[in-house]
């Protein structure tokens, strides 16, 4: 009986560990900025609650603060359009 109880507790602990590591991996993916050509001319790139934030270079060589809401919904390229983030196609 003691061995069975120990095995059940160990199994529950293992399952809990796997579930929490899976949750943190998903959270890291949500926080990771999406791919796109904007990365070549933008700096300070970060995701905050689904919005992509960056400083992107305009045609004059100046950096502009810009953001793209719901960046994960972008199906095409995310590009820097004269210092502004732009999605070529939305879902």
58 with 23, same domain: the answer is no
CATH number at residue 67: 2.30.60.10
26 with 37, same domain: the answer is no
67 with 50, same domain: the answer is yes
63 with 85, same domain: the answer is yes
43 with 24, same domain: the answer is no
Query: Given this model, what pLDDT does residue 31 score?
Result: 78
Query: Given this model, what pLDDT does residue 9 score?
Result: 61
Task: Render each residue's pLDDT in the chain as its tens digit; 91 residues.
Answer: 666 665 656 566 665 554 555 555 445 566 799 999 999 999 999 999 999 999 999 999 999 999 999 999 999 999 999 999 999 876 5
Query: Given this model, what pLDDT does residue 88 score?
Result: 87
Query: Given this model, what pLDDT does residue 8 score?
Result: 58
Helices (H), 1-91: 2-31
Domain that holds residue 81: 33-91
Report how far apart, in Å, the C-alpha atoms of 36 and of each of 19, 67, 74 are.
Answer: 31, 14, 10
């Amino acid at each position: 009986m003691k061995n069975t109880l120990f095995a059940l507790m160990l199994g529950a602990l293992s399952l809990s560990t796997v579930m929490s590591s899976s949750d943190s991996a998903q959270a890291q993916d949500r926080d990771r900025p999406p791919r796109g050509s904007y990365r070549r001319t933008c700096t300070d790139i970060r995701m905050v609650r689904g919005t992509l934030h960056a400083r992107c270079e305009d045609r004059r060589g100046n950096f502009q603060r810009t953001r793209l809401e719901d960046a994960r919904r972008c199906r095409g390229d995310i590009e820097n359009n004269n210092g502004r983030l732009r999605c070529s196609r939305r879902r």
